């Protein structure tokens, strides 16, 4: 489903980034990096919004020719960015939302792991597997 | 309920264990408070990540403090903070008239000098929670009469 999934820390450095191996990895790093500005913009605009609109899911950040970039920010300001192939039109907003929820649940589990230091890069097999399962559904 | 008592017993044992170790000559007493505070910090970080998973995004600092006083306090201590005061310039005072970790001790002045040991973990808990939500702070606690206590949160502006 997704071609690239990234977790970005509060201070805007990557905690985790993985993309499908068939394509140029650097390109995705670049896409994710550029999306952070849009995330910032959306958060600051959202502070003024009504309570029911202050959702963690940010929706589509921006579309490019080949990809769509979606964003999600937790209350602790950790950002999740997902890059999806835009040829995949079957993917609906709700599905993206539930994928982000899964990602968030998984991240929470990592945070509650006593052997993980907050702010370190994520090296977790459980998280890896979950991300892999999200990317697998493509084909 | 047994699960409610579990946290209390574990906390009591944690304090007692640390002080016992200190008495046997591993560092002086002042270090124990710091250690307890640091434990609380890490626990607070993890807890807040879990508790805020399904809540809407916070509007501002006061919104976050209200969350700590209501939801966070209810989950950890089974009651809400009794009084929250602020000077709107980064100082918040959270008052709890029946603080759960002090309820087991006799009210009055007898154990007053031991009270700080039992508040350090909670100070860390608040500080860790706030830090994970992006607010740097200094948290201190004070007790005047036994089961009641006050936590003062000073927000560090960046």
* Residue extents of the structural domains in chain A: 2-133
Q: What pLDDT score does A139 carry?
A: 44
Q: How many CB atoms lie within 10 A of CB B53?
A: 16
Q: Using an 8 Å CB-CB cutoff, list chain B residues near A55.
A: 56-57
ipTM of the prediction: 0.79
B110-119 long-range CB contacts below 8 Å, 24 or more apart? B111/B146, B112/B143, B112/B146, B115/B143, B115/B146, B115/B149, B116/B33, B116/B141, B116/B143, B117/B15, B117/B19, B117/B32, B117/B33, B117/B36, B118/B11, B118/B15, B119/B143, B119/B149, B119/B151
The mean pLDDT value of chain B amounts to: 85
Q: Which of B42, B46, B59 sits opposite A47 (nearest CB)?
A: B59
Q: Could you say which architecture CATH assigns to the domain A2-133?
A: 2-Layer Sandwich (3.30)
Residues 55 to 114 of A: which have CB under 8 A from any B CB?
A: 55-56, 73-77, 104-105, 107-108, 111-112
- What is the per-residue pLDDT across B65-121, written as a single tens digit (0 to 9) for each? 998 898 899 988 888 888 898 888 889 999 988 888 888 887 777 788 888 888 889
Is a pLDDT exceeding 90 seen at residue B126? yes
Q: Comparing B131 with A92, which gets the higher pLDDT?
A: B131
The band of B1, judged by pLDDT with boundaries at 50, 70 and 90, is: low
Residues paired with B141 in a beta bridge: B151
Q: What is the Cα–Cα distance from A99 to A84, expressed in whole angstroms?
A: 12
């Amino acid at each position: 489903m997704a071609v690239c999934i990234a977790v970005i820390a509060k201070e805007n450095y990557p905690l985790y980034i993985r993309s499908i191996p068939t394509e140029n990895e650097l390109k995705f790093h670049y896409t994710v990096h550029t999306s952070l500005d849009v995330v910032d913009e959306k958060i600051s605009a959202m502070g003024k919004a009504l309570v029911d609109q202050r959702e963690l899911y940010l929706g589509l950040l921006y579309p490019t020719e080949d990809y769509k970039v979606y964003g999600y920010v937790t209350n602790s300001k950790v950002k999740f960015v997902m890059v999806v192939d835009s040829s995949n039109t079957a993917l609906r907003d709700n599905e993206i939302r539930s994928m982000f929820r899964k990602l968030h649940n998984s991240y929470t589990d990592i945070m509650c792991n006593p052997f993980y230091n907050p702010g370190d890069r994520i090296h977790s097999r459980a998280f890896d597997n979950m991300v892999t399962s999200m990317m697998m559904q493509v084909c | 309920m047994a699960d409610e008592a579990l946290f209390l017993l574990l906390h009591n044992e944690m304090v007692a264990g640390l002080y016992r170790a200190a008495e046997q000559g591993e560092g002086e007493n002042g270090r124990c408070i710091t250690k307890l505070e640091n434990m609380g910090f890490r626990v607070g970080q993890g807890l807040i990540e879990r508790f805020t998973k399904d809540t809407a995004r916070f509007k501002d600092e006061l919104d976050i403090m209200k969350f700590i006083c209501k939801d966070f306090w209810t989950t950890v201590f089974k009651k809400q903070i009794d009084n929250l005061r602020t000077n709107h310039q980064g100082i918040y005072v959270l008052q709890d008239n029946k603080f759960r970790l002090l309820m087991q001790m006799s009210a009055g002045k007898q154990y007053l000098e031991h009270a700080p040991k039992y508040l350090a973990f909670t100070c860390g808990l608040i500080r860790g929670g706030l830090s994970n939500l992006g607010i740097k702070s200094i948290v201190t606690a004070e007790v005047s009469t036994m089961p009641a206590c006050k936590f003062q949160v000073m927000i560090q502006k960046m």
